[in-house]
Amino acid sequence: MPKRIGLFGGTFDPPHVGHLVTAVNVRYALGLDSVVLMVANSPWQKDGTRPISPAEDRLAMVEAAVADVEGLVAGDAEIRRGGPSFTADTLEGLAKCFPGAELFTIVGDDAAAGLTTWQRYDEIVALSRLVGRNRQEALARQVTPHVADVLRRVDAAFFAARGRGAHMRPGERRPARIKVGESCHQHA
């Protein structure tokens, strides 16, 4: 049976419980084998907009954050590749490493609203299924009709976040607790 792999890319500066909640919920909702939290080497859409921590530091924080969460892994392919980070390149790499795998690109509503501005957007749609987290309806309306046609929405509101932790709603079959651990905060 082919693997089902989610790609959740980002700057992760720093990673937070919302990232973990989204990744876990999408993994369970779609029956994914794993979700790779891919740390951007050089996030081209954020360059020059604010200071960004070194990629190796952000990777260390993501590794610490996912260490105890089944099915979530930290990805360093964009850091190893160097240069600007483009999702299409990362998907091509995953397809080569996992021939026949079903790939899913996970985005938040803020990213979904700007997807058509991404480098080689058509390739991203061709290589993977786009998955967005259901959030505020106002943000969802910002998504263009073309993106709305290819974007599958997943309810990521199964957890109630408190501080550095998130707790599962009663009756859910997801991990009972997700925390961004102290080791992650030490890296920050």
- Token look-up 């859910």 returns 172
pLDDT at 7 exceeding the cut of 50: yes
* Arithmetic mean of pLDDT, 1-15: 92
For residue range 106-121, list pLDDT tens digits in order: 987 677 777 888 889 8
Report domain extents, the chain.
4-187
Residue 25 CA to residue 21 CA, distance in Å, equals 6
pTM above threshold 0.75: yes
pLDDT at residue 164 in the model: 43
Region label for 47, one of left (φ > 0), alpha (ψ between -120 and 50) or beta (otherwise): beta
Residue 85, Cβ neighbours under 10 Å: how many? 24
Within the chain, residue ranges assigned H as helices are 17-30, 55-66, 77-81, 87-97, 109-113, 121-127, 137-140, 145-150, 182-187
Q: Which CATH superfamily hosts domain 4-187?
A: HUPs (3.40.50.620)
Nearest CA among 129, 178, 142, 182 for reference residue 25:
178
For residue range 50-97, list pLDDT tens digits in order: 899 999 999 999 999 999 999 999 999 999 999 999 999 999 999 999
Of the pLDDT bands very low, low, confident and very high (cuts 50, 70, 90), residue 101 is very high
Nearest CA among 110, 120, 107, 162 for reference residue 141:
110
Residue 58 CA to residue 60 CA, distance in Å, equals 5
pLDDT at residue 87 in the model: 95
For residue range 133-174, list pLDDT tens digits in order: 765 454 455 655 555 556 666 765 544 444 444 444 444 444
12-31 burial code (b ≥16 CB/10 A, e <16): bbbbbbbbbbbbbbbbbbbe
- Token look-up 């980002």 returns 10
DSSP string, 140-177: HTTS-HHHHHHEEEEE--SEEEETTEEEEPTT--S-SE
Amino acid at 112: A
